[in-house]
Amino acid sequence: MTLVALLNSSRKPRFNRDSSFRLFFIFAGILGALSAASVAIAQSADRPWMNPGLAPEERAELVLKQLTLDEKLALLHGNGMAHASQWQMPLTHLANGGAGYVEGVSRLGIPPLVISDAGYGVRDSGANGRYSTAMPSSLGATSSWDVDTACEFGTVIGQELRAQGFNMTLGGGVDLAREPRNGRNFEYAGEDPLLAGTVVGNLMKCEQAQHVVGDIKHYVMNDQETGRFFVNSVISKRAMQESDLLAFHIAISIANPGAVMCSYNRINGDFGCENHYTLQDVLKKDWGFRGFVISDWGGTHSTEKASTAGLDQEQPMADFFGPKLKAAVEAGQVPMSEIDDHVRRVLYAEFLSGIVDDPPQTGVVDVEKGFEVSQRVEEKSIVLLKNSPTVLPINPSKVHSIAIIGGHADIGMISGGGSAQVDPPGGNAIMSPGKRETIWQKQTWFSTSPLKALQAKLPNTKIDFDPGTDPKSAANLAKGADLAIVFASQWLSEDMDVPSLSLPDNQDALIELIASVNPHTIVVLESGTAVTMPWIDKVSGIVEAWYAGSSGHKALANILVGEVNPAGKLPLTFPRSEADLPHPDRPMIPAESQALAADAADNGTPTSNASVHSGYAVHYEEGSEVGYKWYEVQHKQPLFAFGFGLSYTTYAYSGLSVDSATKTVRFTVKNTGKRAGTEIAEVYARLPKGADEPYKRLAGWKRVMLAPGESQSITIAIDDRVLQTFDEEKNAWNVTKGEYQVMVGGSSDDTPLLAILVVR
């Protein structure tokens, strides 16, 4: 009963001790509420920027007016990195074991930035006594071509960041897979700007929605790890705008992130973190980005040049944006207006993301939810590359014995390394107890055993394992089984590129041997990029599982036994060999530069030595012809095309029509098989001849679920951004008038439907 109801009651209240206590607490509650309201009103009057009804830019401007110079500068640099001996400062201990810490302004209610790497899960959880879910690799998740899946991915990471006390993420990698040997391709989203930008944009949009500062990286042309601290990426503005920059623009326009991380490499001579064209002209002016530009760790090279070019915050230290920046301001070399712009952007990001109004509340990670989402993402991301003769799904009435070979499949599945590495619970699963620590650039497995998962799904099937280390032993096991499954892995990590796309450690030879003794051999690939397959004609099935995450074994088992129909499609082209790549031969780095870079990295300043930076460039003469576009123009047939992926059912396309006025296409997709399935219908467009760009480009897609025999009419709006070309002289986008070919089908090289879109 409320106080008002009690006083108005026709029944005379009995004022015993209990009722007196109740009234006391009611009055106390009312007084407390009034007091809190008074405090809030007073606080709003004293701190108008704490009013959540104001726009983020208004709140940032109000705070900016209150700051001293020292408080402003404190927002513009990090304070060291935990677990990095060369990057330590007095405030590093406040970094929560994460990647970095930026001091806030406590007197004004502005919180510090507590930052963590989080490419496919929160990093260093094991080292900090915590738990994190590992999602499938970003490249794997992109194979779902599903924005809802991307959103689930980002939501889980955002929630786990907050539960661990972090309020800023360093995920959101969107660099295109120009170089398939790039050691960080597993962190990115493939080779097409529309697909990559859309998937990563939705991922980060949902991650930032959990009230963490979002990040899109590494801006831009960070397409290889070889010589990453000093390589010069040489490319025309037109080509960059139509490829890599387009991917970033799409991602940023969807996510509206608080931050964009500039890259280590040089771009047409200037470093990514002091490149006026990419940071100031494109990102901030042309795109209207209001958040702040954060440097990659150790990626700052100067004070005045970087500040003028558009870098807003140095990480992880204060080598250039600490005392040196203050001295430059006091000497009049850096105007206060420039400092204010940097600070305004950091404040805007804090208000935009919600970390001021809703700071993280450290708690317990929802482990079960993470498992469920990770499994669901992986089930949508696994790509069936070959199934001939039909060996999948496994039929237990015909398959009574299975030989599982290689890949530590009895214990777990491999993960990607570097700053994206998520610590497995209990440590590296393939190591002995006491030696399971996750170590930088050491291959790491999760305790996600495909062997055990298949045994649980097929309890009446005899399933045996051989590690594959003794080829003769493995062949003997495979020879006596109804089905052989070889697990092959290709490990990728930050700060290294793979020397080739071949499987390492003689895995190709092992697959050849097993296939020679068992005609029903399946290869399960755990990779972070494309691989070559000299054995492709000798095996019956190929399944690309990518880096499968915390529940990858369960997802894979569901695919193999047919409880889930595979629907994933490749986000990058698999070439037949390195000879087919735009850059078939790896450019050599001068030995002197390698040695200087190594010494500088050991000292914690990998990019500060100017002598390291000369003499190494990659000329992207293929321009905007990235991935499948390159293969089409060069008339090269890839091993597997962009957008390719098989199913346990089949689909037919028909009835394409195009509405030129609205730029929409309509067509019908029919499930012509006997199983329910999900098809990813892809729309491509080819520009008129006058545009001088003969290749097709992805213009839209849609996932459609179909029962056996079911047909659906599909409508897809063509994305205008991929129909335009960039004019360097006018710094403007053009749409060429004329007839555009519109093609529809199941992959970039299988588009049976053709129609014409007319632009007048």
Which tens digit of pLDDT belongs to each residue from 651-687? Answer: 999 999 999 999 999 999 999 999 999 999 999 999 9
pLDDT-derived band of residue 588, with 50, 70 and 90 as boundaries? Answer: low
Tell whether 566 and 433 lie within a shared domain. yes
CA distances from 355 to 40, 62, 63, 595 (A): 18, 17, 15, 42
Boundary-marking domain end, from 533, 552, 574: 574
Report if residue 123 sits inside a domain: no
Report if residue 716 sits inside a domain: yes
pLDDT of residue 592: 54
pLDDT of residue 67: 98
Tell whether 551 and 668 lie within a shared domain. no
Report if residue 732 sits inside a domain: yes
pLDDT-derived band of residue 596, with 50, 70 and 90 as boundaries? Answer: low
CB 733 within 8 Å of CB 725: yes
Tell whether 406 and 549 lie within a shared domain. yes
Q: Amino acid identity, residue 528?
A: G
pLDDT-derived band of residue 14, with 50, 70 and 90 as boundaries? Answer: very low
pLDDT-derived band of residue 24, with 50, 70 and 90 as boundaries? Answer: very low
CA angle 502, 503, 508 (to 5 degrees): 100
pLDDT of residue 434: 87
CATH classification of the domain holding 680: 2.60.40.10
Report if residue 99 sits inside a domain: no
pLDDT of residue 441: 87
Tell whether 570 and 654 lie within a shared domain. no
pLDDT of residue 210: 98
Overall number of domains in the chain: 3
Tell whether 544 and 663 lie within a shared domain. no
pLDDT-derived band of residue 586, with 50, 70 and 90 as boundaries? Answer: confident
Cα–Cα distance for residue pair 263/218, rounded to 1 Å: 5
pLDDT-derived band of residue 45, with 50, 70 and 90 as boundaries? Answer: confident
Alpha helices in 272-333, H assignment, sequence order: 276, 304-309, 323-330
Report if residue 143 sits inside a domain: no
Report if residue 549 sits inside a domain: yes
Tell whether 428 and 548 lie within a shared domain. yes
pLDDT-derived band of residue 127, with 50, 70 and 90 as boundaries? Answer: confident
pLDDT-derived band of residue 599, with 50, 70 and 90 as boundaries? Answer: low
Tell whether 417 and 514 lie within a shared domain. yes
Share of the chain above pLDDT 90, in %: 88
pLDDT-derived band of residue 604, with 50, 70 and 90 as boundaries? Answer: very low
Boundary-marking domain end, from 548, 574, 600: 574
709: domain range?
650-759
pLDDT of residue 15: 32
pLDDT of residue 587: 62
CA distances from 367 to 97, 137, 169 (A): 20, 18, 19
pLDDT-derived band of residue 384, with 50, 70 and 90 as boundaries? Answer: very high
**Is the per-residue pLDDT at 52 higher than 90?**
yes
CATH classification of the domain holding 413: 3.40.50.1700
Cα–Cα distance for residue pair 626/583, rounded to 1 Å: 11
For the four alpha carbons of 455, 457, 460 and 463, in that order, the dihedral sign comes to negative
Cis omega (within 30 of 0) on the bond before 722? no
CB 208 within 8 Å of CB 520: no
Report if residue 272 sits inside a domain: no
Boundary-marking domain end, from 543, 574, 605: 574
Tell whether 565 and 676 lie within a shared domain. no
Structure tokens of 100? Answer: 């970095």
pLDDT-derived band of residue 690, with 50, 70 and 90 as boundaries? Answer: confident
Cα–Cα distance for residue pair 269/267, rounded to 1 Å: 5
Tell whether 550 and 659 lie within a shared domain. no
Tell whether 664 and 755 lie within a shared domain. yes
114, containing H or E segment: strand 113-117
Q: What is the mean pLDDT of residues 52-73?
A: 98
Report if residue 404 sits inside a domain: yes
Question: 3-state DSSP call for residue 466?
Answer: strand
Which tens digit of pLDDT belongs to each residue from 527-572? Answer: 999 999 999 999 999 999 999 999 999 999 999 999 999 999 999 9
Tell whether 707 and 568 lie within a shared domain. no
Tell whether 453 and 540 lie within a shared domain. yes
Q: What is the mean pLDDT of residues 626-638?
A: 98
